[in-house]
Each structure stands twice: as structure tokens, then as C-alpha cells.
Chains A and B, each alone.
Chain A
Amino acid sequence: MLGFLKEPVVVTAKINVSLVALTVMGLINRLWGLCYPRAVVFDEVYYGQFVSLYMKRIFFVDDSGPPFGHMLLALGGYLGGFDGNFLWNRIGAEYSMNVPVWSLRLLPALAGAFCVPLAYQILVELHFSHCAALGAALLILLENSLITQSRFMLLESILIFFILLAVLSYLKFYNLQKHSAFSGSWWFWLLLTGVACSCAVGVKYMGLFTYMLLLATAGLHFWHMIGDQNLSNVSLLCHFLARGLALIIIPMGLYLSFFYVHLALLYRSGPHDQIMTSAFQASLEGGLARITQGQPLEVAYGSQITLRNVLGKPMQCWLHSHTNTYPIRYENGRGSSHQQQVTCYPFKDVNNWWIVKDPGMQQLVVSNPPRPVRHGHIVQLVHGITTRYLNTHDVAAPLSPHSQEVSCYIDYNISMPAQNLWRVEIVNRESDTDVWKTILSEVRFVHVNTSALSGASLPEWGYRQLEVVGEKLSKGYHQSMVWNVEEHRYGKSQEQKEREVELHSPTQMDISKNLSFMAKFTELQWKILTLKNEDTEHKYSSSALDWITMDTNIAYWLHPTSGAQIHLLGNVATWASANAAALVYLCLSLWYLLRRRRKIYDIPEDAWQLWVSAGGICGGGWAVNYLPFFLMEKTLFLYHYLPAVTFQILLIPVVLQHLSDHLCRSVLLKSMFSALTVAWFSSVYFVYCTFSPVTYGQPALSLPQLKALRWKDTWNILIRKQ
């Protein structure tokens, strides 16, 4: 019974001590003095506000990327017990006591630390020697810019971690492919590739580049498998399906789930509500939902409504009118109809209320039972306070002379007949007899006489409200022409006086509308992709070309009194050698390729395969993470280059080992090469030590020391005026 006790319990474990040592060194290197400085550093001011909003469960939209990265940062805050009460308004502000700085910065720092063993593993999986792998890991360890970026509440180190993890797991998977396809570990690494890819994309859209690279690599490898006659068609199909599942379906599902969690966490309305449609806003707690609760769903003849422009650009606004008329002559001499102004007003106002009227009847109240308005019905819109009809005619609009003027009709008896019939077109209808619904329906008003649509544009001269025009030609669908009903109630009062009182009273509500998750997801995703901040210029922005030579740095933080400061500044020696390695790799590859074409084989075939695959991953990773920036028009910063430079650094040991293995033929050359490598490595270490004060922000440096650090004229080392 206790037989197992007769044998000693033996656990044999193989521990790669260097890997453990590297991890420990990485942790020390990244986590040391993490709480310093206890102040807002650079983009923490940006991400911090989102962390606070997560803590308070308030909805926000961030156009810089998908929500997974923000959620991870918020997780740190959650674990540290952050209550979200901190005003993120300026860089350098001291943190108050309730901000758990250490736990907020912990996750990025851990991600940064684990990049070191990941680099080691990647080189091993690429079949390079232990020495080369060690070199790669040490270079990542001593890279100042990666250290700086991972020690604060920023997303790049998390992104790089997931990118490297995806690459590593793909390589592991590929190496397992030959012997043990469909084994447990094969599945594990394949699935991990997909998961890591979707996490990378979920942190920042930049992750897409690496994802595409891995997809292309997988496609290429699969293409080779197709040519393998030993595999049956069925097993080929199984391989294809497994890859499709792990590399496409699962990442997509995960990506959706990030948004699901994001929307589930953030259920309160907040400052970014107005970008979203009314339907979306109504699904958030507080805000619009409080107002719209309990409105009747179907718009009927006699309904009192406010109409909001769906586009929400340049700002959200409601169709509005007031007793003032258009000036008879504009400044530039054009004439107007001198009728009542119709504008789009960005604030809630009693003048935003309109009544839907049946042209055939006089009454302005909802009959019992209500007669709902359907797609294609002809209606008149009566302005609630002034009881004038919404009208448009062939008069040029005040600011956009190519469009028609929209007014509220005043009968001057000058043979200018009222043209106030509008056909309701529900844009997002499901059938042609759909009922016009509050909030959910997006409506166009097509003018019956001149077939014009109304759209909003341009700031207006009079009351700085927005101009409303009738667009003469239906140039396809454009959101600025579409309106939806936001507030709605059935009108009850027949008399004008009573109606005014009714309009001034708050609306009463009771139902809440829930959008499906997919509808919310598509809207949010679309907003994230299309929301464009105005072109901002930044003191530390740089162009992609500056990054290779590291012509610019970014000052992250400056101590208010002493000269201590933190900069995003790479290890010059590493960057220069990475560039050199890329150049050598390119030239050598070209040379080999041309010679191979002439059937001259300089290196053995397996060495060539090694060279190509390592270059494909490291060089390719650099290219896909760097070159697309030349096509982008947004404001760019040095930290956008960090994923690319990580891959470029991995190329250095690849090239070095190749040089020593294949080009140093004699023993003497080999030992000389090793000596040179060691010397070069110590220079990397020396540079790391030199710049560590501006990487860690301590110790504070004196003025001459700071000046001595300014190795390039274009660097912006902050020197305090005495």
C-alpha cells in the first residue's frame, strides 16, 4: 500500500541556468527603483486617464488603438487598489498617495523583462548557437530605450513582448512540425502563436504587421508542404484547417472578446459619449439613457421630437430654429429669402423641438391610437415654439452657395410658395414598411418638390451655430445627411400656449434599449478607425527617417529642482551595430543569391537555409515594423520604432555567428574575431552605463556631465537655465 515509499522520490529537472540568470537580470534591470520618479512621466498622462476611467467604469473611446493594452494597464491599477481619483493633466505632476505607482508600472516592466529570455529562446529555435542566443539576450538587456519604455505605464513593452512571444511560439511549432505533428505540444505552440498575435494586435494596431509576417511565413511553409508528395491530401487538409483555426479564427474571436470585456466593464456614460450614436449612448448608464428612458418607441404623427445629426462632426448638434431671420443681403452681396433661420445647434434647447405633422390634417397631437410614420411617408415638420414649417427652396444657402437654403417658412406674400413637404427615408430599414423608431432609426428627409436632402456643414456667421443646407443632388449616402430622433414624446396639447409649456417640461421615460454586442462592436471599431484627431504637432515628434540614426530623443521627465531627467534614448553602440548588421546581411544575401544562381555554392545548403530563415524572421520583422511608417501621415515618435529595432538587434548575433563560422576560415582569424566581438560588447556595456543616468532618472547629473552626454547636436538634453 505504501509501496511507493520504498523507492526514493526523484525529481530530475533540467534547468538552463543561463536562461534563469538572464531572466533574473532582466527583472532586476527593469524593476529596479520602479516607483521612481513618483510623478507622471510622458505618455502616462495619456494612458493614465483611461486607467482612471476603467476604475470608474466610465465609457471612453481612444482612437490610438484597441482596448486590450489599456485593460492590461488598468488591471495593474485594479490589483494595486487604485480608485481612479487622480487628475491626469500634466507631465511631471506628483502622484498623490492613492495612486499605486508600483503596481501600475509593474506589468509593462515585467513584459519588458521577459523580452530578454524570449530573445534568447528565439535565437535557439532558429538553430543558432548558445553563444549567439546569449549575445542577443544581453543586447536586449542593455538596450537603454527598451528599458526606459518598459519602466513606465506605456504600451510598447507589452506590445514587443507579445510580438516576440508570437514569433517564438511559431518557431517552436514549426520545429515540432517535422517529428511530431498534431502532438500536444504542437497544438500548444500553434494555439499560443494565434493567441499572442491577437494580444499584440489588441494592444496596438502595429501588432498587425508582425501578425501579417507570421501569416505569410506560415503560408510559405504550408506551400512547401503542398509540394511534399509524402503527405496525403487528407492530412494536408487537416494541416490547413488546424492553421486556419489557430491563426485566423481564434485571433479574431479573441479580438472580439477584448471588446466584449471592454464594453462589459465600461457601462457608465462619460466624456466621449457624444462621438457615439444616440442608440449607443442610450445603452450606457446615466447620460442620454436617463433622458430617453421611457420614450415611446415609434414616431407617430403629432410626435414631438428632437433631431440629432448622426455624423456628430464637427460636433454633435440638433436641428434648430429660432425667430431670427436670414439677413436680406449677405456680406458678399448675395440675397437670401429673409425667412426664419434653421441651424444645427450643439446644445440642448427648447428650440430644438419639432412636431411631425401629417400634411393632410391640421392637428398637431397624437391621435389615439397613434398612427406611426413609416418609410416613404410624406410629412411636414413644424417647429415647436414658432409653429413654422421646415422649408427649402431654390435659394442659395448662406455659406455653401451650391446647396439650397433651408428655412422655416414665413409667408411674405411675395409669390414664393411654401415647399415644406418632406419624404421620410429610413436609411437603416429592414423592410420598406418599417416604422420610424426613436433613436434607432437613421432618417433622411428628402424634399418632395426639389428632391433635396438636408445636411449639416460649416460654422455659421450669425450665432456661430452650424449651417443646415439642402443638398441638391443625392451624391450617395453620407452620414451628414442623416438624422435620428433623440428625444421624443407624443404631443397632447392642441393649443399653442399649452404646447409651449409642454415643450419646456422635461420628458418622461421608461424603456431602455439594448443594442446587441455586435452592433456596439462595429460602431466602436468604426469610430476608433475613423476618428481622426486634428494634425497635432509635437515638440518631440520625428520622422521615420530620423529613427535609424536616432537623430531625435524624447525627454520623458525632468526633476523639478535637480537636473535629474529621463530620456528615451537608445544605446548608440547597439543601434549602430544593428544598422551595420542589417547592411551586412543584405549585401551578403545578395552576393550569395547571385552566386547561387550561377551554381556556385559558397556555404553549405543547411547553413544557407539557416541564414535565410533567420533573416526572414529578424530582418523581415524589422522591415514590416518599420517601412509602413513611411506611408503614414500621423504624428510619429521615436518609440514607434522600438518593435522594429528589437528585431534588428536580433539580427546582430545572427550575422556575427555567420561571419565567424563561414568567413573566418583560419583559427587565428576566428580567435581575432572573437576578441573583437568581446571588445565591441564591452563598448555596448560602456554606452549602457554612460546613459543609464538618463535612462533611470538617477543619479542627478551636473551641468557639464549633461553637456557631455549630448553626443549628437540634434539631441535635446534639457539644461536648466541658472
Chain B
Amino acid sequence: LRRPGLPGVPEATAGDKAELSEARAGRRRRAAAPSPAPTGCGAAIVPRPSRPAGRARSQRRVPWRRRRRSSPARPRSAAGTAGRDCIPRRAPRPPRRGPGAPPRPAAGRPAALALVTLLSFASRFHRLREPPHVCWDETHFGKMGSYYINRTFFFDVHPPLGKMLIGLAGYLSGYDGTFPFQKPGDRYEQHNYVGMRGFCAFLGSCLVPFAYLTVLELSKSLPAALLTAFILIFDTGCITLSQYILLDPILMFFLMGAVLSMVKCNSCADRPFSASWWFWLSLTGVSLAGAMGVKFVGLFVVLLVGLNTIYDLWDLLGNLSLSLVMFGKHLLARVLCLIVLPLALYTAVFAVHFAVLNRSGPGDGFFSSAFQSQLIGNNLHNVSIPEHLAYGSVVTMKNLRMAGGYLHSHWHLYPEGIGARQQQVTAYLHKDLNNLWIIKKHDSDTDLSDPSGPVEFVRHGDIIRLEHKETSRNLHSHQHEAPLTRKHFQVTGYGINGTGDSNDFWRIEVAGRRTGELIKVLRSQVRLTHVATGCILGSSGKTLPKWGWEQVEVTCTPYLKETPNSLWNFEDHINPKLPNISLDVLKPSFAEILLESHMVMIRGNSGLKPKDNEVTSKPWHWPINYQGLRFSGVNETDYRVYLLGNPVIWWLNLVTIGLYLLITVATAVALKRGVQLTSELKELSRVVLHAGGQITLGWLLHYLPFFMMGRVLYFHHYFPAMLFSSMLTGITWDALLKFCAGLLSPSTTARRVYGGGFLALVLLILYSFYLFHPLSYGMIGPLASNPSSPMAGLRWMDSWEF
């Protein structure tokens, strides 16, 4: 068997420097390959890039990509041309390379691609069934896949595409959605889980060829692409993350797909509006929609593609040979493929999501009453209730903040020392008889339930009294501090059989309405202002301690701000004197549902705050591979899987980022100082600055924002950035080795340095994988902290817990 890394090497190191640059130039990039410096004439003579007629102006200024647009028919000036006489000529000559030379990379590349793909699939599908129990977040995402199969509505902080695909994979592979996925460690027994895992592993395996092709396209160097591929194939972290039912392989698949098609599309820039150009452009759009549809982190790749597109358009705008109409076409094509198409697909994903999930389930409470009326099995589904609120009505009130809960009271008093010792008023998330309140007039206590009496509607601005139906106490507030939010006032239940005092009076107002209007069930957003103190009834969202049955605190806030915390709507409404109407009139439009579900998701995401004493993962831990995640198993007898990057690879990546920065600064300063470079150095600097720059931008976009996030962070959030970092490693080391080889100009030494360096890197990666592979493929036996464990010597950092 040939060593996987070698096919490209003989090409690159076969000849002298001139040949090296030839081989890299490949077949497509003909125009960009400048005539190489002849060995016989010394470095002082720098070949001028030859320019085709008619493109002179744009040729001089624009970066490399535009140059490739120039006519592909233009023959390259070959090594032999310059070698003959020292004056670089414009006179074209056919390339002198033997007919055997160009086909070799052509034949080698598909073979390399096939090899890389094969290795990738083999490493991801190896021991896929193990462990046969629920691992880590499978408990969430597997469960949500089951929800799709059962068509039960649920709530999650991520958009639905990833879980939909998992559900689909499960459905197609014969999983029936009956496994409860209760907690990590539950055995699957007879349930078919391999289909879902296999689907994720398939997508995870695709990452490697994607990265390979991306790097190949960017750097035109087979060794760079191979190095990247090996890094990703043999990284234990990437393997582990791809083997389970998780959203990450799906996200990364779309993400890398978007990057690959963006790069491919850039390479097609010399043939705009050709079929392949359209194909790659629209594929970029589709991938973007996919990435956004799986997790909101997909936004970062949207940013990357967006920045790239803006740069591209800016470039086109500066090209005066392009008419404004043509530019308009370019602009339109991009708007169509990169904005309209993804948005449409993204919306479609949500449409399918809501169409599939039409049964009431655990996610109901997070959504508004109007939304709940859509779900089969919800008590608001297909009911009919009176529309306008009247005195004597029995109602429940729901807070408008996310997961706000119903206004609730019960036969328990606030404990000693916490405000006045009166009956508790809380917000409660579940439906309960204690949520019922009767609306009464503030000044009269006549029995309004008399069916013959006249109906009197409640109007905006009325002063009312709310009597708790079960305990007959009035909703009451006074200037005692609230139990948890000390700056707010306490809300209590007060009075006996509906007789209280003037602190029981509340003014009812509809947000954004005028006096005298009627109040509608479900649709009106209502504010209750306490008449005596002027504060507003609200729910702070904080959970009360044990004495309050861990329900949510209700307070009266003196700060008159319009927040969902202080807005309520009426959900149940019972009044025998009024005619019932069907709630179908409330049916929210698709746009409203879309907006609401996004609000709920965003609030849910920002609600994932770390608790005070919890030890959380910090973004700076990630690139140094500081701490992994335990996927499965704790004890010695368990089958243990630990998500941790291959430390050799990760530290290589980390060092490379620093190295890359140094190289970039040096190159940029050298170029700015006007140092004359030889042609292959120019090509190298192009790869370093442009290709490396694009990848680095991707890494930054996928890493830096995490420093500003307040939510709980985990180690696996770094993996998208890690993909970019690995690609950067491939590009940088290839460029560095080429540069070193170029310094030692006798060809044999150069070849040895280049080949040797490359081989050393590959061997290092392979050996480290051999050492660390039990992390992904499972360990049984004593823990690594135990000296008798085979992994004991590998616990290089105290923070690793395998």
C-alpha cells in the first residue's frame, strides 16, 4: 500500500523550482502562472506578468482572482522560454513539459480524493454501534427526533432542520419513535438507533473531502490538501463528535458545504453565469440555509460568505470593463442565490416543522395562547369561549414573558420575615384550578352570577378587583418589599370572602389602546396598575424557594416600563351570560408563528445562563484542548468515550495560528516595502495572504463571538472553528515547507526538505492517533488517573478526565 500522503509529493518536488510552480499551477489557473525565474540568469531579473490585450488596466491592480478571468486560451510562458534568453518575453510558446507530466496530478487527485474519503468513512463508521446506550446530548436530540416521528410539539433553542433530519433518518431506517431517551446511559435494547447515528456519521465523514477540496481549490497544492485531510481524519475529537446523534455533524456539514461551494464559485469567476457558476452559487445559498436551519451558530458562516461576496462585488465594481448593467446582473444573481433562496428555504423548513408537529406536547407552555390553539390535544384547541371580558367572568391570566406562567394563588402564606404574612401569589406554569380569578367591580360586591342580570363589559381604564376563586381572597399589593426582587412590591392575596381594602384595586389597561375599549380574550395585552401605589403587576421570572413551591415570583414593579414581564393576557374565560365564539378567528398567520418561535428561541438561548458556582468551559480553554466532555461512562467498568481533540493535532493547529500571523505580517510588510519577489515567492505570498486570509477570517468569525456570549458554553462549540484552523494548518505548513525548500536551492536538498518535512508531519499525526484513538473508540478499564491504566501516560494535562 502506498503511503497516503505521498502521491502529490513527487510532483511537487520532482523538478527544480520552476517545475514546482508549474505543477502547482495546475490545469485551470493557466493565466495566473507567471513565467518562473530562470536559474541561469539570477534572481535580479524579474519576469513581468504578460498581459493580454484589452485587459491591461484591470490586470495591473486587481488581485489574483480577477486575473484568472483573462482568456484561458492564452498560453503560459513555460520554464524553457525564460531559460533560453534572459529577457522575459511576451511571445507565447507552448509549454515544454512532457506530455506525461500534466496528467499525473490529474490522475493523482481523484485517487487522493478517493483515498481520503475512504479513510474518513472508515474512521467514522468504525464501532458506530458502540456504546449501545444513550450518550450525552443524544438524550435531547434523539428525543426530539422521536417527537418528529410522533408529531408531538416541543420546544428547543435551536432551529428545527437538524432535528428534522435526524427524525427523518430514524424514520427511514425503521426507528418507530418509541424509545424515551430519558437520560444518558439508558440502553437502546431492541430499538433501532444505528440509522440515526449512521446518518450523522455520514455527514461527519463528508467534512474531510469537503475540507480537502476547499484547500486544494484555495492553495492549488495537493500536499496542503492532504495534510488538512489527515488532520481531520485522525482527530479524535472530530471522530467522536461525528459518531453520535448530535446536531454538530449536521451543522458542520452545511458549514463546510457552504465554504466549499463559495470557494468553488470564486474559482468560476472567470466564467460568470456559466452553468457551474450558477450551480456553485446556488449551492452556497442552499448550504447557508441548512447551516442556519440547524443552529444559530450558522450565522457566522453566513457572515463569512457575506463578507466574501461584498469583497467580490467591490472588485467587480472596480472593473471598468464591466458595464453597470453587467454589474447589476452580478448583484442580482447574488441577491437571488445568497439572500432570497436561503431565506425561502429557511422559511420552508419552519413551515414543514409546524406542519409536521401538530399535536400538543411538552413545548406548549413556552408559546402564546393563540399559538397553542393550533395544537391538537391542547385544551385551547377547537374550544369556543366568550370574546369580550365582562364583570363576573372567571378567567386565567397568562404572563407574556417566555414561559411566563399563569397568575396563581393557593392556601399558603408568605413565611415569617418575608413581607406581610398574607397569602402567596405566584406564577405557575401548569393549568390548575388555583389559576382561576373572578373579575369584580371595585366598589360593589353584588352577586354578578345572577343569570338574569345585565351584562356589563370591562373596559380599558376601568378599576377592578380580582378575586381568587378557590380562596376568595383579593389580589392585593402594598409597600412591602417583594420576596426576591427587593426593589419591587409584594403581591398577596388579602381579605375574607372578597372583602378587602383599597389596596385591592387595580386599573386594567390594554397596551396601546385608548379609554373605553372592550378587552378581548387572548388577543388583548393587558397591564394591571395598582391604584394606590401606581406600580404594575408583573412576573420577575425568578423561582421562589421551597416555601413558595418553586413557583415563579409575582411582584408589583414601580418602574413603569413596557416589558413582557408586566403584560398579561386572558386565556380561559368562563361567563355563561355571554355567547361563545370559536377561537379560529385567532388563528395566527404563518409570519406571526415564525416571528414568535424565533423570539422564544432567542430568549431561550439567552436564558441559558451559567449558575453561580458552576464550573463552566471558557472559550480560551478550547484551542489549547484544556478540557474535554465526557460522552459516556464514568466508572472503571463502563464503556467510556471522551470528547477530546487529538492533542498533537490541536497543539499543532495552535502553533500554526501564531506561525501564520508571523508569516503574514512578514509577507505583508515585505510587499508593502516593495521588496522584489521571485515568481514562486509571489505565488506563495498570494496563497498565504489570500487563501490563508479567507480561512483565518472563517476561524475568527467562528471563535471570537463566543467570548462575548453570556450563555453556557461547551467545548464542542469550538469544532467549526477547529475545521478552519486545520485548513489553515495545511496551507501554512505547505507554504512554509515550500519556502524553506526554495531557500535551499539545489534541487535535491530542496526536495528532501520538503518531502521530509511533510512526511514527518503525517507520521506525527498518525502516531498520535495511534496513541489517542481509545478516546473515541471507547475505553474500558481503570481510569487514567490510576497509574495501572494504559492511558495513564497519556494524561498530559491534569484537567483531562478520561
Contact = CB atoms under 8 A, between A and B. Distances in A.
Given A226-B669, A598-B320, A476 B615 contact: yes
A9 interface: no
B320 A599 contact: yes
Contacts of B558: 539
A473 B783 CA distance: 13
Contacts of A451: 785
A181 to B, nearest CB: 19
B673 to A, nearest CB: 6
A480 B673 contact: no
B559 interface: yes
A475 B613 CA distance: 12
A412 interface: no
Contacts of A598: 317-318, 320, 324
Interface in B613-652: 613, 615, 627
Most buried by A among B324, B557, B615, B673: B615
Interface in B347-392: none
B487 interface: yes
Contacts of B559: 537-539
A538 B558 CA distance: 10
A398 interface: no
A631 B613 contact: no
A661 to B, nearest CB: 27
Contacts of B487: 536-537
A475 B615 contact: yes
Contact of B673 (A227, A314, A538, A599): A227
Contacts of A538: 559
A455 B613 contact: yes
B669 A597 contact: no
B799 A476 contact: yes
Given A539-B559, A597-B317, A633-B710, A229 B674 contact: yes
B633 to A, nearest CB: 14
Interface in B546-560: 546, 557-559
B672 interface: yes
Contacts of B799: 476
Contact of A476 (B320, B627, B672, B674): B627
A457 interface: yes
B667 to A, nearest CB: 13
B801 interface: yes
Contact of A457 (B613, B627, B672, B785): B613
A331 interface: yes
A229 B622 CA distance: 43
Nearest to A472: B634
Interface residues of A, number: 28
Interface in A347-372: none
Contacts of B557: 537
Nearest to B626: A476
A478 interface: yes
Interface in A14-45: none
B314 interface: yes
Contacts of A599: 320
A590 interface: no
Contacts of B314: 597
Contacts of B324: 598
Given A457-B613, A476-B615, A226 B672 contact: yes
A711 interface: no
Contacts of A631: 708
A223 interface: yes
A689 interface: no
A598 B314 CA distance: 10
A312 to B, nearest CB: 13
Contacts of A548: none
A451 B798 CA distance: 14
Interface string A518-548: 0000000000000000001111000000000
A90 to B, nearest CB: 15
Q: Does more than half of chain A's interface fall in helix, strand or loop, or is it mixed? A: loop
Contacts of A457: 612-613
Contacts of B710: 633
A227 B669 CA distance: 8
A479 to B, nearest CB: 10
A718 B536 CA distance: 20
A474 B800 CA distance: 10
Nearest to B674: A229
Interface string A253-292: 0000000000000000000000000000000000000000
A305 to B, nearest CB: 24
A431 B798 CA distance: 17
B801 A223 contact: no
A478 B318 CA distance: 55
A636 to B, nearest CB: 13
Contacts of A476: 615, 627, 799
A594 interface: yes
A537 B559 CA distance: 8
Contacts of B615: 475-476, 478
Contact of B546 (A331, A458, A474): A331
A314 B613 CA distance: 10
A633 B708 CA distance: 10
A227 B675 CA distance: 11
B318 to A, nearest CB: 5
B708 to A, nearest CB: 6
Nearest to B798: A474
A594 B801 contact: no
B564 to A, nearest CB: 15
Interface string B289-308: 00000000000000000000
Interface string A214-235: 0000000001001101000100
Contact of B318 (A314, A455, A473, A597): A597
B376 to A, nearest CB: 36
Contacts of A313: 612
Nearest to A459: B545
A502 to B, nearest CB: 35
B531 to A, nearest CB: 15
Contacts of A223: 672
Interface string B35-73: 000000000000000000000000000000000000000
Nearest to A480: B613
A650 B529 CA distance: 44
Interface string B307-324: 000000010011010001
A229 B485 CA distance: 65
A471 to B, nearest CB: 9
A536 B799 CA distance: 36
B317 A594 contact: yes
Interface string A558-596: 000000000000000000000000000000000000100
A111 to B, nearest CB: 32
A458 B613 CA distance: 9
Interface in A452-485: 455, 457-458, 473-476, 478, 480
A251 B314 CA distance: 39
Contacts of B320: 598-599
Nearest to A229: B674
A539 B672 CA distance: 55
Contacts of B785: 451
A223 B671 CA distance: 12
Interface string A105-143: 000000000000000000000000000000000000000
A480 B669 CA distance: 48
Nearest to B673: A226
8 contacts: A226-B669, A226-B673, A473-B801, A476-B627, A478-B615, A536-B487, A539-B559, A598-B324
Given A227-B673, A594-B317, A598-B320, 8 more contacts: A233-B673, A314-B612, A474-B798, A476-B615, A478-B613, A478-B615, A537-B485, A597-B318
Q: Report the 3 A-B pairs with minimum CB-CB distance, sorted nearest first.
A: A475-B615, A597-B317, A226-B672
Interface of B: 314, 317-318, 320, 324, 485, 487, 546, 557-559, 612-613, 615, 627, 669, 672-674, 708, 710, 785, 798-799, 801
